[in-house]
């Protein structure tokens, strides 16, 4: 399962995990694993505009490709929407990727992965959230669907990049400088808890 499909050498990797907030955050430990085991990899990430600030908080992510599908799909027939899609696609295709991993496993995300140039990889038919998504991939990996999303994504990346994930999940989020926040909203100097009762889908 952990035999490398891409041998160790400098390479560009595109991760496709566009939404939602929880899914994006759940992918962070897999990015940390890649940085640890494959420091030769340059990591880019395709994400929905609503969540673009999250991948940028991980120190191993070097470029974020932003799409606005949730906005575009409501106005697909409008010329400004078509122009925005063309620009996003042109920017994405300006780079050739040695490997493109669809970490979402949906037909939608597989389609987005197909807009980039490079070898496409993801879950196999039985492992993907939507089995038909695997038709778009040139390389597939088997990962138990019963596992937590964090572990599934770690195993998916490891299978395609040839290492064995180990240890507790490391989210490695780089917190922005809090000084721009109003004083009463800045993080406390002592331990604190943040409650998020809901998030965008």
CATH number of the structural domain spanning residue 149: 3.40.50.2000
Residue 99 in any domain: the answer is: yes
74: DSSP letter: T
| Position 3 pLDDT exceeds 60 | no
55: DSSP letter: G
How many folded domains does the chain comprise? 1
Name the band, by pLDDT with cuts 50, 70 and 90, for residue 8.
Answer: low
Residue 3 in any domain: the answer is: no
Residue 7 in any domain: the answer is: no
Determine what percent of the chain is predicted with pLDDT higher than 70.
88
Q: What is the pTM of this model?
A: 0.87
Domain that holds residue 63: 12-164
Output the pLDDT for position 200: 64
| Position 65 pLDDT exceeds 60 | yes
The DSSP-derived string for 126-144 is TTSSSGGGGGG-SEEE---
**CA separation for the pair 172, 175 (Å, rounded):** 9
Residue 72 in any domain: the answer is: yes
Residue 172 in any domain: the answer is: no
**pLDDT, tens digit (0-9, with 9 covering 90-100), for 66-93:** 999 999 999 989 999 999 999 999 999 9
Residue 109 in any domain: the answer is: yes
Name the band, by pLDDT with cuts 50, 70 and 90, for residue 9.
Answer: low
**CA separation for the pair 31, 168 (Å, rounded):** 13
Output the pLDDT for position 153: 99
Residue 89 in any domain: the answer is: yes
Output the pLDDT for position 174: 76
Backbone dihedral region for residue 162 (phi beyond 0: left; psi -120 to 50: alpha; all else: beta): left
Mean pLDDT confidence for 137-149: 98
For residue 82, give every residue at least 6 positions away whose Cβ sits within 8 Å of its Cβ, in sequence order, or none: 76
- Give phi and psi for 122, each to the nearest 5: 180, -155
Mean pLDDT confidence for 91-106: 98
Instruction: Tell me the CA end-to-end span of the chain in Å, nearest whole number.
Output: 32
The mean of the pLDDT values for the chain is: 91
Residue 107 in any domain: the answer is: yes
């Amino acid at each position: 399962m952990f035999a490398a499909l891409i041998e160790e050498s400098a390479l560009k990797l595109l991760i496709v995990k566009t939404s939602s907030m929880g899914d994006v955050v759940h992918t962070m430990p897999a990015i940390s694993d890649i940085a640890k085991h494959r420091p030769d990899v340059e990591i880019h990430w395709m994400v929905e505009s609503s969540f673009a600030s999250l991948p940028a908080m991980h120190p191993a992510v070097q470029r974020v490709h932003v799409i606005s599908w949730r906005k575009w799909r409501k106005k697909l027939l409008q010329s400004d929407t078509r122009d925005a899609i063309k620009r996003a696609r042109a920017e994405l295709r300006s780079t050739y990727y040695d490997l493109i991993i669809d970490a979402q496993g949906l037909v939608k995300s597989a389609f987005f992965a197909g807009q980039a140039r490079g070898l496409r990889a993801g879950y196999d038919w039985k492992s993907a959230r939507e089995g038909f998504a695997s038709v778009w991939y040139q390389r597939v990996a088997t990962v138990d669907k019963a596992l937590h999303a964090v572990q599934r994504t770690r195993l998916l990346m490891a299978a395609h990049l040839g290492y064995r994930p180990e240890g507790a999940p490391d989210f490695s989020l780089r917190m922005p400088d809090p000084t721009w926040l109003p004083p009463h909203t800045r993080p406390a100097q002592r331990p604190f808890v943040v409650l998020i009762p809901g998030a965008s889908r």
